[in-house]
Structure 1
Amino acid sequence: MNKIFNHHLKIWKWAAGLLPFLAGCESLTEINQNPNDLTDERVNPAYVLTSVVTGSATALSDVSFSGNVTQSVISEAMQYTQRDFLEFSVSNQFGWYPVSFDYRSLHQPLSNAAYLGRRAAGNADSLFLKGASLTMQAMWFGIQTSLWGDVPYREANQGTANLQPAFDPQKDVFIGIITDLDKANAYLKQAGTVKSSVLSQADLLFKGDVLKWRKFANSLRLRFMMRLSEKLGDAGLDVKAEFSKMVADPSNYPLMTASEDNAAISYPGTNTIDAWRMGALLKPTLSEFYRIKAGATMIDFLKNQDDPRLTVWFRPVEVQTLVRDKGAETVFAKDEGSGDVKRYIKSYQQGIDTSLYVGLKIALVNPDIYNENIAAHRTEALKLNSAIYNSGAANPFVSYLSPMFRENTHPLVKTVFMSAAEVNFILAEAAVKGWIAANAENFYWQGIAASLTQYGIADGDVKQYNKVTHVRQQFDLKAFESRMRALFNQAPDKTEEILTQKWASSFTTLESWFDWRRTGYPDIAGNIISGSQGKKIPVRYIFGESEINYNTDH
């Protein structure tokens, strides 16, 4: 690689102040050169670290939640959301497109992370750079092998020295990255601190906090060891013993346990480079946003548990349907109290959802008309409130995503590499398996609590939906905790209960799909109405043509 890649070495605008320093102590003439024309040895590794982190955020966001249907289909597969208007047969009914393993946005962050490790030699912060490099490589190798199965690992990232790398068995990839993460923790522990202030500023993930990097690396290691939990006999690694050793030694293996440790990237939202991927800067057409609706499985789960995340993640329907005799069969009128438009029907009709939060049923043949969404009814509603959305993908009788997902920047909208919620659920599952001597119930609750904190929910917040009165009320954290603990203690299958709550907390990420494939939990396949393979959910991405065309040896 003679020149630094273009797009993925652009940094968020809020880090642009770093650029004059990234070439190190060089002359003004050298500093003013175009960074895209700098050769390898001239680019400060701090600049590369920024690229690795921001490029990873962009790529992971697109594949897990914010991308189009050629990129993002897992949210629909896991029934968090459903699409309508266009392309719903691809996402809702699993008509997935092939995706090449070397697809640029998914491979580039991994390649850049490997390059970061090569640039560590001779740097005053070489140990930190090696640790960060191995951590990010492990994350991406783990994602890739989880998406496709067998992928290049041992021969990957060799550039022109090997353009046709061999594919390694998935088990070997996991064992390799588990080993790499152990090395990453050792490098980071030995590093202690980041010496360069420029490097600390360029670290948009943890601001040079080495302890948080160690927590991230070790938590990823637990993630991938748990992913091997169903194959202990042929894993080639004593996963149970290694897992137990780590949890029993927090000084040598610190873990993420609180939301402030989350590995997550915010979006400044000042331009198309640093804006959230679903915001107006990158998706100016409203229909692109509104065609993503809440999934009934997620909505019903949150409503049934009186979970306040419902009102944070999703929007109330613009027009609620209520069963009231107003004379005619269907009457539109404004509510005297709230002023909101309501659709009143004289008697209940099969299939009509009268909640204030309504999700699309899963894999409908025609989701556009769900909940009696017909043009004449939208016209009547618009007469009472012209602000009701009525362009492409309009359905005022079904919940859209929360408006925060339409903003270019929002403090709660981030790309999450890994969260404390996930780690606590992993520990809860390990306790149930007998891998660690710990209270599974406490880890289970701490996982839920960490997710609430992640989304800014605190005791007393007016964020809990009352299913009877259809209004928001104050959230009682203690009462909620009591209900959640009771659910756990009453559950006949503790692992299923843990994985179901973990599924909810994994909203906007890929992790629940990987967990579902490993365990079958949560049991959601039965919700599928008209899937392309009946009640089956896909278990792998489809390899694209690049592997056939350009890696013929393997």
Structure 2
Amino acid sequence: MKKTFTIIAMALLCIVAISSCKKDFVDINTDPNGTPNALPQQLLAPALVNTVSINMLRSRNFNNELMQVTVDPGDAEGKVFRYDIRRSFADNTWNGWYTQLTNFKDMYTVASQELTYNKTYMGISLICQSWLYSLLTDTYGDVPYFDSNKGKDGNFTPKFDKQKDIYLDIFKKLESADTLLSAAANVSGGSDPVFNGNALKWRKFGNSLYLRLLMRLSGKADVSAACIAKIKEIVDTNPTAYPIMTSNDDAAILRWTGVGALTSPFIGGVREQDWRALAISSFFIDNLNRWADPRLTTNRWGIAAYQGSYAGIPSGYAPGEGQATKSYFLSTTSTTTGTLMNDPLIGNIMNYSELQFILAEAAAKGWVSGDAKTYYNNGVLTGITLWVPLFNTSIDTYLAGGDIAWDNSASLDEKMETIHLQKYYSMFYTDFEQWFEYRRTGHPILPKGNGLRNNGVMPARLPYPVYVQSANPDNYKTAVAAQGPDEISTQVWWQKP
């Protein structure tokens, strides 16, 4: 009797476990927090806050470790700075991004209906969908796209789409968004924590995002010519049809006010001791020291001094070769000055400085008619003044003092290093953009410690969440067969020769 009871109990546990796995996948496709009766103005702010919160937390403990902003010292397994990445790291962004896509898609559906028709919310939705899908495919490669988020229709096993097809459809979405917003009115500022309901600023962000993504594919042979032609059209040929950001005032930043839902996820989400636990890397801090960068000299980023100055530790070291923490980012209770823990600007989506460096690269390669030096100088200047508005030193003086002035006689590769080293700092805490751009360009050149895993090669992607293998096995196997092994070393489509 006891043996029979044990068998029944074990069987019930297996059923519960299998149901739980299936339930996770269904929840991601249906968003358990959503409601089919919500209005667009009710969906936008929560979706933006949740998405930016996910990005900030993962930028802190994943991107920053890979890209030598910080080092999580220790000899234990699973240290990201050593390219030793646990498979569970994949779950958070996958689950969070797909959940918020449901909200952005619902926003479009409701805004397109006759009684609630609103071009502005439709355009904003398409931009936000494009942004999230680009994050997903740049992180994982081939992912569910055309069939994703259809749990309400009973599709809990969406097929994985090829990255090329995803990108080409994202471009269509951004074209549609530009058209919709070209004739759209402003909406309620209370519904929009990024641009306060300003339709033109959303349009500028959408087209600036378009340039970011076109640049990402610009080196891929089968689409390169079309991407370069589109970049030229947006910047040179038909700029009135594609307005882009023109100043820091146009930056897409979710500014944390500290009131209600607009409270940084770092408040309460990251303990004070966790801030002290992450050392700043030598690469990150040494450049700022050498340039006498005002983001450091004014301590705008809230960095703890070490023996009267700022100092970092090397990244990528082998177990047993680490150094004690020196400088680190301060927590809000450690200083009376502003810190990243509660900074209004840390919710960055895309800023004007990043756009200027995109244009500098395009000009350096001869794709647009502008002057690469002008774009570069403006990118450096606005990257600083975003954080230090009172900076009034001549940009030429600053660049000369740091030995980082533009050199027209330099090789293209040297120019790319010059641009992308500065772009690295302009994309500080911008989701995974530093990682994406390094994978695309190989810049800036990062020092490599002798403790790196993955043969010392920067990870090319995150693996798919483990539960997807059991919840959507057939489509998972098809994706892996097409893309390559589900490992961090497998390059995504736009990285492959």
Q: TM-score range by the shorter chain?
A: 0.7 to 0.9
User: Where does the alignment leave 5 or more consecutive residues of structure 2 unmatched?
Assistant: 1-25, 333-337, 476-497
Decide which of 36, 44, 50 is 1:49's aligned counterpart.
44
Decide which of 429, 436, 443 is 1:508's aligned counterpart.
429
1:40 counterpart residue number: 36
Q: State how far apart, in whole Å, the 2-side matches of 1:314 and 1:523 are.
A: 25
Q: What amino acid is aligned across from residue 379 of structure 2 in structure 1?
A: G
Q: Which has the higher helix share?
A: 2
Question: Any conservation in 1 of the 2:373–2:406 contact (CA below 8 Å)?
Answer: no
When residues 511 and 172 of structure 1 are mapped into structure 2, their CA distance, relative to the original with a 3 A threshold, is same
Alpha-carbon offset, residue 298 of structure 1 = 0.9
When residues 270 and 51 of structure 1 are mapped into structure 2, their CA distance, relative to the original with a 3 A threshold, is closer
Q: What amino acid is aligned across from residue 307 of structure 1 in structure 2?
A: D
When residues 399 and 313 of structure 1 are mapped into structure 2, their CA distance, relative to the original with a 3 A threshold, is same
When residues 224 and 106 of structure 1 are mapped into structure 2, their CA distance, relative to the original with a 3 A threshold, is same
Question: Any conservation in 1 of the 2:384–2:391 contact (CA below 8 Å)?
Answer: no
Question: Any conservation in 2 of the 1:294–1:314 contact (CA below 8 Å)?
Answer: no
Secondary structure at 1:238 match in 2: helix
Q: What amino acid is aligned across from residue 507 of structure 1 in structure 2?
A: F
TM-score, normalised on structure 2?
0.80
Q: Deviations over 1:380-413 (max 9, x none)?
A: xxxxxxxxxxxxxxx4xx11114567565333x4
Alpha-carbon offset, residue 159 of structure 1 = 2.1
Q: State how far apart, in whole Å, the 2-side matches of 1:170 and 1:539 are.
A: 14
1:268 counterpart residue number: 257
Alpha-carbon offset, residue 546 of structure 1 = 2.4
Flag the structure with larger Rg.
Answer: 1
Alpha-carbon offset, residue 133 of structure 1 = 0.6
Question: Any conservation in 2 of the 1:86–1:291 contact (CA below 8 Å)?
Answer: no
Q: Deviations over 1:442-499 (max 9, x none)?
A: 1111111111121124335xxxxxxxxxxxxxx6655114456734446432122111
When residues 57 and 123 of structure 1 are mapped into structure 2, their CA distance, relative to the original with a 3 A threshold, is farther
Q: State how far apart, in whole Å, the 1-side matches of 2:346 and 2:172 are.
A: 29
1:549 counterpart residue number: 470
Alpha-carbon offset, residue 160 of structure 1 = 3.7
1:539 aligns with 2:440: no
Decide which of 284, 290, 311 is 1:298's aligned counterpart.
284
Alpha-carbon offset, residue 529 of structure 1 = 3.3
Map residues 448-463 of structure 1 onto 2, 5 A cutoff: 448-459=380-391
1:422 aligns with 2:340: no
Alpha-carbon offset, residue 55 of structure 1 = 1.6
When residues 222 and 369 of structure 1 are mapped into structure 2, their CA distance, relative to the original with a 3 A threshold, is closer
Map residues 110-509 of structure 1 onto 2, 5 A cutoff: 110-120=101-111, 121-123=113-115, 126-161=118-153, 162-191=155-184, 193-194=185-186, 199-231=188-220, 233-235=221-223, 238-248=226-236, 249-270=238-259, 273-279=261-267, 281-283=268-270, 285-310=271-296, 311-313=299-301, 315-320=303-308, 356-365=309-318, 370=323, 373=324, 395=325, 398-403=326-331, 409-411=342-344, 413-459=345-391, 477-483=395-401, 486-489=405-408, 491-492=410-411, 493-509=414-430
Q: Find runs of 4+ consecutive structure 1 residues off by over 6 angstroms.
A: none
Q: State how far apart, in whole Å, the 2-side matches of 1:536 and 1:101 are.
A: 24
Question: Any conservation in 2 of the 1:275–1:282 contact (CA below 8 Å)?
Answer: no
Q: State how far apart, in whole Å, the 1-side matches of 2:448 and 2:115 are.
A: 54
1:92 counterpart residue number: 81
Q: State how far apart, in whole Å, the 1-side matches of 2:322 and 2:465 are.
A: 34
Instruction: State the superposition RMSD in angstroms.
Output: 2.7
Secondary structure at 1:230 match in 2: coil
When residues 513 and 123 of structure 1 are mapped into structure 2, their CA distance, relative to the original with a 3 A threshold, is farther
Secondary structure at 1:312 match in 2: coil
Q: State how far apart, in whole Å, the 2-side matches of 1:539 and 1:308 are.
A: 33
Q: State how far apart, in whole Å, the 2-side matches of 1:84 and 1:90 are.
A: 8
Alpha-carbon offset, residue 100 of structure 1 = 3.6
Q: State how far apart, in whole Å, the 2-side matches of 1:86 and 1:286 are.
A: 22
When residues 172 and 237 of structure 1 are mapped into structure 2, their CA distance, relative to the original with a 3 A threshold, is farther
Question: Any conservation in 1 of the 2:72–2:81 contact (CA below 8 Å)?
Answer: yes
Question: Any conservation in 2 of the 1:259–1:450 contact (CA below 8 Å)?
Answer: yes
Q: State how far apart, in whole Å, the 2-side matches of 1:131 and 1:277 are.
A: 27
Q: How many percent of aligned residue pairs carry the same amino acid?
A: 27
Count of residue pairs brought into register by the alignment = 433
Q: What amino acid is aligned across from residue 40 of structure 1 in structure 2?
A: P
Q: What amino acid is aligned across from residue 433 of structure 2 in structure 1?
A: E
